[in-house]
Amino acid sequence: MKRAAAMLAAASAAFLVSCGPETITLPEPPMAAETQQLVALYDMPTATLDTSNVDQARADAQARLAELNLDWLPGVVSDLLARLRTRLDAGSLPTDPASEPKSRRAQVTAVAELHRICVGWDNPASAPDEATNGALDLTAIVDTGKINAEAWATASACRVRFPPAADSSGAIVVAPRVVNATIDGMLIIYLLAPLPTDPADASFLLTFSGSISIGDQTKSTSFDFEVVDKAVRFRVPAGGGDAIVTIGTTLGIQGANAGFSCDLGTLTCQKSS
């Protein structure tokens, strides 16, 4: 993705909040209550797992993997969050939702809006062209000296290439599969750690609702997953609730009562907790 303009909406007015009558009307994060419930579910899965249903949960997890676009979509979100971090750092605005506002300092209230022209499919990448490649518009809120954990973005005909185009040296990235994708829809991003300075360090919950086109196939879809400490987790229904699946050298499946480790080579699962 190419650099594009970003705005700290009403930032100048925000700095006057502590010393005058000016106020800022903050936008309401979309689906805030549902997002909080989803965060809690990832922390405390509700499925009851045992040897009678874990194989079905493993099969459902493998089928779900193909629908989540995990080879490229987490990178889109991570890059967006890293660029937001750069903009907030430049304005000396908070970047960690777990940090409390510092005492004896003016408590800033602001709306941060980041407009990103998408990278497109050309290789090497061409000049930024929103009419061809679409865009992402991200909104984040700083409320009384603290950044809200929930941010959200609208994707408008956003074209994404995976792997990325040639780097600045002209080297071509070699990968077994090239994906040309187009995203349209809403991305709700809940921060599980401070905004990253390096996209590889991002930790977040993503909920997506909209359509994704790959090649000539377009699909309306909705899903969610977490990226935490470079590991990816997602939900599958099982045992009267939701189990949380973690992708690693094996497939970890965690329920409310037990966890299993599944070998995708032998398609066998062993109880791990």
* Structural domain contains residue 14: yes
* Domain containing residue 161: 6-44+69-231
Rounded Cα distance between 239 and 235, Å, is 12
Question: Is residue 155 in some structural domain?
Answer: yes
User: Is residue 32 in a domain?
Assistant: yes
Calculate the alpha carbon distances from 196 to 44, 48, 89, 202 in Å: 25, 35, 11, 5
Establish if 84 belongs to a structural domain: yes
Q: What is the number of alpha carbons within 13 Å of residue 62 lying toward its C-beta?
A: 13
State the Cα–Cα distance between residues 83 and 90, nearest whole angstrom: 11
On whether residue 34 sits in a domain, the answer given is yes
pLDDT in tens, 64-77: 998 999 999 999 99
Q: Are 107 and 144 in contact (CB under 8 A)?
A: yes
Residue range 112-116: average pLDDT?
96
Task: Note whether 26 and 13 are within 8 A (CB).
Answer: no
* CA Rg value for the chain: 20
Number of domains composing the chain: 1
Question: Which pLDDT tens digit goes with each residue over 207-219?
Answer: 999 999 998 899 9
pLDDT above 90: residue 243: yes
Query: How far apart, in whole angstroms, are the C-alpha atoms of residue 30 and residue 151?
Result: 9
- Predicted confidence (pLDDT) per residue in 153-181, tens digit: 999 999 999 886 654 444 434 444 788 99
